A and B are shown apart, each in its own frame.
Chain A
Amino acid sequence: MNGPALGTARPLGATLRRATVLPLSDSALPYRDGWVWLSQWVGASRLAWRQLRCEPTRLFAAVTGVMFATVLLVMQLGFRSALFDTATALPRALHAELVLINPMTMALFRAEPLPRVRGFEALAVPEVTKAVPIYLAQVFWRNPINGRHRAIQLIGFDAEGGVVRIAGLVPLVPLLRRVDAVAFDALGRPEYGDIAALLSRPGALDAQIGSHEVHVVGTVRLGANFGADGNVVMSSTTFHRIVPNMRRSDASVIALKLRPDADPTRVQAELRRFLPPDVDVLTHRQLVQREREYWASTTPIGIIFAFGCFLGLVVGIVIVYQILFTDITNHLREYATLKAMGFTNQYFDQVVICEAMMLAGLGLMPGILLSAVLYRYAAAGTYLTLNLTGQRCALVMVLILAMCISAALLTLHKLRRADPAEMF
């Protein structure tokens, strides 16, 4: 072993030549040396891990707390995102550069009537190639199995216009030309009946919407939202046969297709110049954004989920703070000893911050994995689309890290109280 042999005549100081004594001048202390700074962090992280590991029960409690905060965040963000995704499913399904909408319309599920003639007027602009009216209404659907009624969203439009893209619609376009033919949204709630299973049986499937008999020719996939538990897609002709009291001259929204080389913003400005004030011209993005903002701010739903996220972070900060505070309190005399030996407050700050980051790392992955499992159950129970995206995982990672580091920063004042002079 090449170490100092204290029993020999050679002084320990000569053997430990490399363990140099630091000069006293403040400026000579190597705080600004990059390598020293990095090695300090490495040493601090080593001590941090050892401090955490030696108390397995407390470590488990801390990791569980971070996991809980992670799950809470992921679920809240997931529900919030599902709210926006499902609420904007129909606007996002519009394959149109511009839309005409009644300025009083806050959300499509409650669209105010819009004169259909505005679509014809918009065609006066050369860049506008198509103006397709879309009709929306909520009517009662009768479950073909148990006979129970439940409100459902009707979506009527010319499917051949190509302005609406819903999964599963394309093969049904020829069939929807038929009068009273409808396509059922398979992602709706099961209370409408297992329409997909009924369709797989031989023979036609008839259903009742309002007091009108319809023929179900297939299924599409759009999804339930907070405004409607299900959807039925049909031609505008069939729509007005089911909802005769809704005037054909009034649409819910009019989708405008532009020439490929057209600038939507410029065309929007031009349309706004000459169209009357009973119609608003929005880009596709603006329509989606309006829908999002409605659910986010006009109803308490967005606020509730945002508050849920905030609560999750606060709970996480409290738990991590408590764990770190207890850890510091229990090791205060040890830290004071290290201060006496010459370790600085900066070093201890690094130890605590490293502990916090380790807790974040240890709790984050299990929390996300558990959230993925919970997403499945929640999606099955709510019929909402819950996706654990990479973007959401990255956001949660940043939030959890910030949460843990915030808790660590709150405990640093405790570290300052480790007075080495008090140990004597």
Chain B
Amino acid sequence: MILADINLTLEPGEIVILTGPSGSGKTTLMTLIGALRAVQTGSCLVLGHQLSGAGERARVAVRRQIGFVFQDHRLLGALSAAQNIAMSLEIDSSLGERDRMRWAIAILEAVGLADYAAARPDELSGGQRQRVAIARALVRNPGLILADEPTAALDRQNGRAAIELVADLARRRGLAVLIVTHDLRISGVANRTLSMEDGRIDGHMAYYEVSD
């Protein structure tokens, strides 16, 4: 898949929805911005870091500044809700286990799930699992949130609640959010909605940048 004429800028606190038919390049764009794939040609500047030509270790460092929210939560089944969130903080080894759990429980309080800190993912509802996943994505205070179909596995009420939670926290903290979705029910939370087709967004120019 080749992306062409992409010129995308996200401002802090801005929520952008990216939609489009299957095969339009949304996923490819998401994986490039998320430093999950190598950029082969062109320029890709994310949070002030150039990803074009970056090695795996450099891309890992960028990923640590990005929060990912997936369609199906992707929580670790062997860990409790708090432990799943604490895992995200384990990347920063300057924090001890106790501190990580404190932060995890604190952010669970922020998303209204403090009573479920010890619950495993299979003991939570779909909406609760997605909220834990959102908390996990946010706990490291990333500069950017990438969400791939975050409401696809949720009913209308839970989907709306999850997106509003992301939007609320993003605006308060000044995080940029890019949501790939086919769910038009949530378009109301976005500052902008972009449509992508055949590797292009609105026919604009050749590079994209996510500001920090």
Contacts and interface: CB of A to CB of B under 8 A. Distances in A.
Interface stretch (A109-117, A185-193, A275-283, A330-338): A330-338
A13 B89 CA distance: 13
Contacts of A16: 103, 140-141
A1 B174 contact: no
Given A29-B57, A340-B36, A6 B169 contact: yes
B60 A344 contact: yes
B3 interface: no
A164 to B, nearest CB: 64
A20 interface: yes
A29 B59 CA distance: 11
B27 interface: yes
Interface in B9-43: 27, 30-31, 34, 36-37
A24 B107 contact: no
B5 interface: no
Contacts of A197: none
B188 interface: no
A155 to B, nearest CB: 64
Interface size class of B (residues with CB under 8 A): 35 or more
B95 A342 contact: no
Nearest to A19: B92
Interface in A135-165: none
Contacts of A2: 102
Given A6-B172, A26-B58, A342-B63, A39 B93 contact: yes
A328 B65 CA distance: 26
A21 B65 contact: yes
A35 interface: yes
B74 interface: yes
A274 interface: no
A12 B173 contact: yes
A421 B33 CA distance: 11
Interface stretch (A43-51, A362-370, A397-405): A43-51
B49 interface: yes
Interface in B112-131: 120
B55 interface: yes
Interface in A316-350: 331, 333-334, 337-338, 340-344
A15 to B, nearest CB: 8
Interface in A22-41: 22-26, 29-30, 35-36, 39-40
A20 B120 CA distance: 28
Contacts of B160: none
B61 A23 contact: yes
B6 to A, nearest CB: 17
A26 B57 contact: yes
B68 A341 contact: yes
B113 to A, nearest CB: 13
Interface of A: 1-7, 11-13, 16, 18-26, 29-30, 35-36, 39-40, 43, 46-47, 50-51, 53-54, 331, 333-334, 337-338, 340-344, 420-421, 423-424
30 contacts: A1-B102, A1-B105, A1-B109, A3-B105, A6-B107, A13-B141, A16-B103, A16-B141, A18-B94, A18-B99, A19-B92, A19-B94, A19-B95, A19-B141, A20-B94, A21-B64, A26-B57, A29-B57, A36-B93, A50-B78, A50-B79, A50-B83, A334-B76, A340-B68, A341-B91, A342-B61, A342-B91, A421-B31, A421-B37, A423-B70
Given A24-B58, A47-B78, 9 more contacts: A11-B173, A19-B94, A19-B140, A46-B97, A47-B76, A334-B77, A341-B91, A342-B60, A342-B61
Interface of B: 27, 30-31, 34, 36-37, 49, 54-55, 57-58, 60-65, 68, 70, 74-79, 83, 87-95, 97, 99, 102-103, 105-107, 109-110, 120, 136, 138, 140-141, 148, 169, 172-174, 180
